[in-house]
Each structure stands twice: as structure tokens, then as C-alpha cells.
Amino acid sequence: MSKRPAMVVYDSGDMDIVVARITTQEYTTGTDYKIKNWHTCGLIMPSYVRLSKLATIEKNHVLKKLAVLGDNELEDIRVILKSMLKLSG
């Protein structure tokens, strides 16, 4: 398994987590999120969360925490995920 940055999207409390890829490559799909405050949240370059690239991985594959997104950005990501997965509420 290659090492790459990811955002934890869901942690059910067991041995696995659902993650979305983080990349510096700009994409223009409706399911990618440009991190607005990348410089203040701990990232070193402008980055994008690829919400269409979800994966389930074991928690022991996580090496370290790179950044913490603010509440406004997390809410923006929730809106995209709800739309993408066609969830109501």
C-alpha cells in the first residue's frame, strides 16, 4: 500500500476508517473540495479532498495527523458528501 495523505471521513470505532484522498492536483469535478485554509490547518501546499475517491483502510495504516480542518470546511465537505451519496437531512 502506498503512502498518501487522506482525510478521515468516517470512524465507526472499530479497526477500520473511511478516508478520502488529499492531493495537490487540481480537479474540477463537483465532488472535489479545495481546502481554503490549507496554510493555517497544517498543510504545506494548496490541496484538494477527492471525495469521489473513498477507501476503507485499517487504522494501523495511519502514520500521523497532518492537518485539522476547521468547522466551516468540514460542513462544506459534509454538504458535498450528502449530495454525492444522495442522502437527505
Question: Average pLDDT of 3-26?
Answer: 96
Any idea of the CA torsion for 69, 70, 71, 73, to the nearest 10 degrees? -70
Instruction: Tell me the pLDDT band of 88, cut-offs 50, 70 and 90.
Output: confident
CA distance to 22, 46, 54, 71, 88, per residue, from 25 (Å): 9, 9, 17, 23, 30
CA distance 51 to 53: 5
Query: What pLDDT is attached to residue 89?
Result: 64
Domain 6-84 adopts which CATH fold?
SH3 type barrels. (2.30.30)
Q: Yes or no: say if 69 and 49 are a contact pair by the CB < 8 Å rule.
A: no
pLDDT digits (tens, 9 = 90+) for 36-79: 999 999 999 999 999 999 999 999 999 999 999 999 999 999 99
Instruction: Tell me the pLDDT band of 9, cut-offs 50, 70 and 90.
Output: very high
Q: Yes or no: say if 82 and 38 are a contact pair by the CB < 8 Å rule.
A: no
- Tell whether the model's pLDDT for residue 7 goes beyond 70: yes
Among candidates 71, 65, 69, which has minimal Cα distance to 49?
69
Domains of the chain, residue spans: 6-84
